[in-house]
């Protein structure tokens, strides 16, 4: 039991370290994974998916980068622990395809519930451009669980829920860390 917990904590640390590693995205290492790319090639090169580079998700991470990280981490989780890795990889890329800047969206439109409504918006956009399987649709629609009440139905869905939370937390933590670093630097300069 203790061993299992230790193993789980180590795996979590590795995943968190990986999610915080910005160089992985900058060097586009996922492109070298041929099996992963075979699952997602049509989405990852699609102009609508590429357009997500213009929107910031958290900190300095764009929606496109966030979705690639969630997709690749979910894919790896499924390959290791079971679940449909292809569906996880594809739904991971599409799970936040809401296509607007959520930081200003509420102010501009009066729509204040982005956290609750964006899975449906992402699903509608994704199904406009791609042929979604029912599992992919379910993952996109329920990836915000437990904020939204209905959980995903499959292991791949839970992999995306987990990867999304981990990546979002890491992106936010990095943002807070760099904010502190800037403040310390500024105080040193001024003081």
Smallest distance from the beta carbon of 54 to Fe ion, in angstroms?
16
Smallest distance from the beta carbon of 187 to Fe ion, in angstroms?
34
The residue assigned the tokens 């569906």 is: 87
Q: Which is nearer to Fe ion, 135 or 164 (CB)?
A: 164
Residue from 164, 166, 170, 171 that binds Fe ion (CB under 5 A)? 164
The residue assigned the tokens 């204040």 is: 112
Rg of the chain over Cα atoms, rounded to whole angstroms, equals 17
Q: Which is nearer to Fe ion, 147 or 190 (CB)?
A: 147
Q: What is the biggest distance separating any 2 CA atoms in the chain, rounded to whole angstroms?
A: 59
What angle, rounded to 10 degrees, do the helices at 85-94 and 134-141 form?
50
Give the interface size with Fe ion as a residue count (CB under 5 A): 2
Q: Which is nearer to Fe ion, 7 or 128 (CB)?
A: 128
Smallest distance from the beta carbon of 94 to Fe ion, in angstroms?
10
8 Å CB contact between 168 and 58: yes
Nearest Cα residue to 94 out of 62, 61, 48, 58? 48
Q: Following DSSP, what letter does each residue of 128-163 receive, concatenated?
A: HHS---HHHHHHHHTTTTTSSSPPPSSHHHHHHHHH
Smallest distance from the beta carbon of 63 to Fe ion, in angstroms?
8
Q: Which is nearer to Fe ion, 87 or 164 (CB)?
A: 164
Smallest distance from the beta carbon of 107 to Fe ion, in angstroms?
19
Which of the ranges 79-87, 103-111, 161-169, 182-190 carries the binding residues for Fe ion, by CB under 5 A?
161-169
Which of the ranges 45-53, 71-79, 158-166, 172-180 carries the binding residues for Fe ion, by CB under 5 A?
158-166
Smallest distance from the beta carbon of 82 to Fe ion, in angstroms?
22
Residue from 96, 135, 136, 171 that binds Fe ion (CB under 5 A)? 96
Question: Per 3-state DSSP, what percentage of the chain is helix, strand, and coil (rounded to 5)?
Answer: 75, 5, 25
Query: Applying CB under 5 A, which residues contact Fe ion?
Result: 96, 164
């Amino acid at each position: 039991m203790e061993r299992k917990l230790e193993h789980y904590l180590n795996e979590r640390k590795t995943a968190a370290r990986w999610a915080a590693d910005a160089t992985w995205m900058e060097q586009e290492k996922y492109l070298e994974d041929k099996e992963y790319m075979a699952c997602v090639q049509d989405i990852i090169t699609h102009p609508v998916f590429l357009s997500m580079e213009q929107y910031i998700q958290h900190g300095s991470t764009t929606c496109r980068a966030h979705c690639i990280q969630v997709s690749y981490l979910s894919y790896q989780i499924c390959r290791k622990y079971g679940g449909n890795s292809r569906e996880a990889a594809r739904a991971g890329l599409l799970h936040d395809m809401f296509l607007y800047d959520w930081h200003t969206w509420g102010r501009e439109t009066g729509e204040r519930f982005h956290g609750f409504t964006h899975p449906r918006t992402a699903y509608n956009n994704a199904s406009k451009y791609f042929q979604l399987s029912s599992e992919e649709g379910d993952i996109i629609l329920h990836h915000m669980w437990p904020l939204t009440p209905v959980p995903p139905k499959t292991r791949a869905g839970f992999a995306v829920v987990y990867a999304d939370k981990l990546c979002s937390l890491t992106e936010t933590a990095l943002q807070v860390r760099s904010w502190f670093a800037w403040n310390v630097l500024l105080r040193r300069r001024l003081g």
